[in-house]
Amino acid sequence: MADFFQNGEITTLHKLGNHSIESMEQELTSFSEDYPMALILPSLYSELEGKAMPKIVNDLKQATYIRDIIVGLDCASKKQFEHAKQFFSELPQQVHILWNDGDRLRALDQKLQTEDLAPLHAGKGRNAWYCFGYALALEHCHAVALHDCDILTYDRSIPARLFYPITNPTFNFEFCKGYYPRINGDKFGGRVTRLFVTPILRALKKVLGAHNYLEYMDSFRYPLSGEFSMSKNVIKDMRIPSDWGLEIGVLSEAYRNLSQHRICQVDIADQYDHKHQDLNAEEAIGGLEKMSIEISKSLFRKLATEGCSLSEADFRAIKACYFRIALDCTEQYYYDAKINGLKYDRHQEESSIEMFSQCILKAGESYLTTPMEAPFIPNWNRVLSVAPSFGEQMLEAVSLDNQ
């Protein structure tokens, strides 16, 4: 049973009581008459061949309160795109597949490139950004939710609990972040959140002093979750990072654009497990290093916009402070693991902390040496001011592709 503790300024919506999924979906069906909903699925083609996506599609068949499903499809050939159309055809919702590697969407991307408005890097950020733009073009759409496509423990309560706070007319939320426990079998998951994000936020608070943004970020139970929802109006002003800082960047944009009373987090799953990539130790470390550096830079850039000046000496202090806080966390997790009968590899945890601490200095050095770096994709308000008909062009291109 979840607790009912409210932490910080952000309202936490727990999983309490016996609100069945059937009852919630009945309410959502009623809400959908005035607040049509679109679910975004940013997906690699390879995920259609995995274990998670077939179950996701099967569960979504029953989520008939969702009007539109927007699939951002990456890394797909023409033959694979044709298979994707067949794969999603059994869904009762209106399905829109954005074939990002197709000629039509590539041509539209090239138009934006000529205006320096296109995303510079392939990946989830670029995929989600185009899906958001497409959702804006669907003028009937009111609420948008996004979740990952590799969730092995998926059930249809995930989109229901994401949409509910945004579409319930008695609520006043415009942005909702999903959270869940990360227990992988018999051990803790969520290493980057547990051992890096939370400790660095607390180290920043100690070095820089009390700051509303840092308190806000530290209020989220799982800031790196890939699941969130928002009203469509929020999308227009959102500048999405194109790197591993996507989730941190989206939270930062919600902080910039909305009152904190219009932001919440919701418990969306009793258990959450996703596809684990088969990486060797060197590849795994490299991936975590890249992720932690980009998350760090995302935090540093946001603090700069809040008027915080960071120097080389500050980064050394942040690194040292982080290291001590993170090591203290390993004690807490050890005790938590033991009382719950979970395995806990303290050596591996502390090795990760040592690597993360070095990444703080690398991120700080990169931040100081490239002050003109522009890591954000332009927001859709800017795109549509330059190309007012771009939304209609996307709708037409996707419609022709999906015929």
Q: pLDDT tens-digit profile of 336-388?
A: 999 999 999 999 999 999 999 999 999 999 999 987 666 678 999 999 999 99
Residue by residue, DSSP assigns 299-346 as HHHHHHHTT----HHHHHHHHHHHHHHHHHHHHHHHHHHHHTT-B--H
Q: What is the mean pLDDT of residues 296-308?
A: 91
Beta bridge partners of 39: 69, 145
Query: Taking Cα atoms as reference points, which of 324, 299, 310 lies closest to residue 201?
Result: 299
In the block, which residue shows the tokens 């684990």? Answer: 276
Structure tokens belonging to residue 381: 């308000």
pLDDT at 391 over 70: yes
What token pair was written down for 187? 């051990």
- Token readout for 388 is 């007012």
Nearest to 54 by CA among 149, 158, 184: 149
Residue 278: the pLDDT is 42
Q: Length of the chain, please?
A: 403
Contacts for 95 with CB less than 8 Å, ≥ 6 apart: 68, 69, 71, 88, 89, 402
**Tens digit of pLDDT for each residue in 230-252?**
999 999 999 887 666 688 889 99
Report the 10 Å Cβ neighbour count for 320.
Answer: 14
Nearest to 133 by CA among 42, 266, 24, 214: 42
Question: Which residue has 């002003």 as its token pair?
Answer: 237
Q: What is the arithmetic mean of pLDDT over 180-200?
A: 89
Which DSSP symbol is given to 377? Answer: P
Q: State the pLDDT confidence band at 280, using cuts at 50, 70 and 90.
A: very low
Among 167-171, 207-211, 278-282, which range has the highest average pLDDT?
167-171
pLDDT at 282 over 80: no
Q: Are 101 and 126 in contact (CB under 8 A)?
A: no
Phi-psi region of 116 (alpha: psi -120 to 50; beta: other; left: phi over 0): left
pLDDT band at 279 (very low <50, low <70, confident <90, very high): very low
Confidence at residue 340, expressed as pLDDT on a 0 to 100 scale: 92
Domain ranges, ordered by start, for the chain: 11-402
CA distances from 160 to 14, 21, 62, 152, 359 (A): 14, 8, 11, 17, 37
pLDDT at 1 over 50: no
**Residues 36-62 pLDDT 10s:** 999 999 999 999 999 999 999 999 999
| Three-class DSSP category at 187 | strand
DSSP 3-state assignment of 73? strand
**292 close to 192: Cβ distance less than 8 angstroms:** yes
**CB of 34 closer than 8 Å to CB of 169:** yes
5 vs 246: CA distance, rounded Å: 27
Taking the whole predicted model, whether its pTM rises above 0.85 is answered as: yes
Q: For residue 110, what are the β-bridge partners? A: none
Taking residues 63-74, report their average pLDDT: 98
Q: What is the pLDDT of residue 7?
A: 79
CA separation (Å) from 20 to 7, 15, 196, 204? 25, 11, 35, 41
Give the other-Cβ count within 10 Å of 313's Cβ.
Answer: 9
Domain 11-402 sits in CATH 3.30.70.20:
no
| Closest to 88 (Cα-Cα) out of 80, 180, 103, 246 | 80
DSSP 3-state of 45: helix
DSSP per-residue string spanning 194-232: IIIIHHHHHHHHHHH---HHHHHHHT-S-TT-S-EEEEH
